């Protein structure tokens, strides 16, 4: 069973709908035992970085860290990916998981923010998540803060400068865009994740 982590922020239906369509057994849950049992974990996220504080409050942060430590494949989406980093300028008092180094930052004033719409991926490294996805594919973004480029970046995107669009380290994955809203390209990535 794929656990879609519910921490009271935003709308998780779209992610579930996409996994259902791919024929995957999945559940929206905030139960710690579900995370222990899960074959894979998806952490969606929309809205404010501060909302991820609920993960620590509900004990989910530790459960996710343990599951990752134990080898459970993990996918963070949007704010869920940003949370994999140490922190975000959006809410300096909220700590991320710290699995990846760096801080998420605001877009420069030279571009409209939020960054909303379809933008292109520049795939820079071989990736299990992006297998079969051509570079320059369009995916759907909606976010006001962006993650830095690090050694784990497998795809970047250009909007007022380059930022991490997808990160990957062993069985841990993060995407800034919404694969569940990115048409067939996005479904391909989710399918890659499900097949790990």
Partner 1 sequence: MSFEISRSNMLTKRIIACLDVDGGRVVKGVQFENLRDAGDPAELAQSHGESGADEIVLLDISAAHQQRATLLDTVRRSARQLFIPFTVGGGIRNLEDAAAVFSAGADKISINSAALADPTVITRIADRFGSQAVVVAIDAKRSGDGSHWEAFTYGGRAAAGRDAIVWAHEAEDRGAGEILLTSMDRDGTGIGFDCELTRAVADSVRIPVIASGGAGGAQHFVEVFREGHADAALAASIFHYGFSRLVDLKERIRSQGIPVRWPC
Size of the site for partner 1 (CB under 8 A): 37
- The answer to the question of residue 196 lying near partner 1 (CB under 8 A) is no
Q: Which of 26, 78, 104, 194 is catalytic?
A: 78
- The answer to the question of residue 89 lying near partner 1 (CB under 8 A) is no
- The answer to the question of residue 106 lying near partner 1 (CB under 8 A) is no
23-140-160 Cα angle (round to 5): 150
Residue 33 phi/psi, 5° resolution? -65, -30
- The answer to the question of residue 160 lying near partner 1 (CB under 8 A) is yes
CB of 138 to partner 1, least distance (A): 4
Q: For residue 181, with 0-12 CB atoms within 10 Å meaning exposed, 13-18 middle and 19 or more buried, which class applies?
A: middle
With contact defined as beta carbons under 8 Å apart, do 194 and 19 qualify?
Answer: yes
- 180 noted as active-site residue: yes
Residue whose CB is less far from partner 1, 21 or 98: 21
- 104 noted as active-site residue: no
Residue whose CB is less far from partner 1, 13 or 36: 13
**Of 186, 138, 173, 178, nearest to 158 (Cα)?**
138
CB of 46 to partner 1, least distance (A): 4
Contact with partner 1 (CB under 8 A) among 28, 32, 46, 149: 46
- 78 noted as active-site residue: yes
* Interacting residues toward partner 1 by CB under 8 A: 9-11, 13-14, 17-18, 21, 46-48, 111-120, 138, 140-143, 157-160, 180-184, 186-187
The catalytic residue positions are 78, 178, 180
């Amino acid at each position: 069973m794929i656990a879609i982590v519910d921490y009271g922020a935003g709308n998780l239906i779209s992610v579930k709908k996409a996994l259902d369509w791919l024929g995957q057994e999945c559940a929206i849950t905030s139960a710690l035992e579900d995370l222990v049992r899960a074959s894979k974990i998806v952490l969606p996220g929309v809205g404010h970085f501060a909302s991820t504080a609920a993960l620590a409050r509900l004990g989910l942060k530790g459960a996710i860290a343990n599951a990752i430590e134990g080898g459970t494949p993990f996918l963070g989406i949007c704010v869920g990916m940003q949370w994999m980093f140490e922190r975000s300028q959006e809410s300096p008092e909220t700590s991320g998981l710290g699995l990846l180094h760096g801080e998420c930052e605001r877009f420069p004033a030279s571009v409209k923010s939020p960054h909303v719409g379809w933008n292109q991926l520049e795939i820079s490294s071989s990736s299990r998540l992006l297998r079969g996805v051509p570079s320059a594919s369009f995916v759907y973004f909606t976010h006001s803060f962006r993650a830095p480029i690090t050694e784990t970046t497998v795809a970047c995107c250009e909007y007022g400068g380059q930022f991490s669009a997808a990160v990957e380290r062993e069985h841990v994955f993060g995407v800034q865009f919404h694969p569940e809203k990115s048409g067939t390209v996005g479904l391909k990535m989710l399918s890659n994740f499900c097949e790990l």
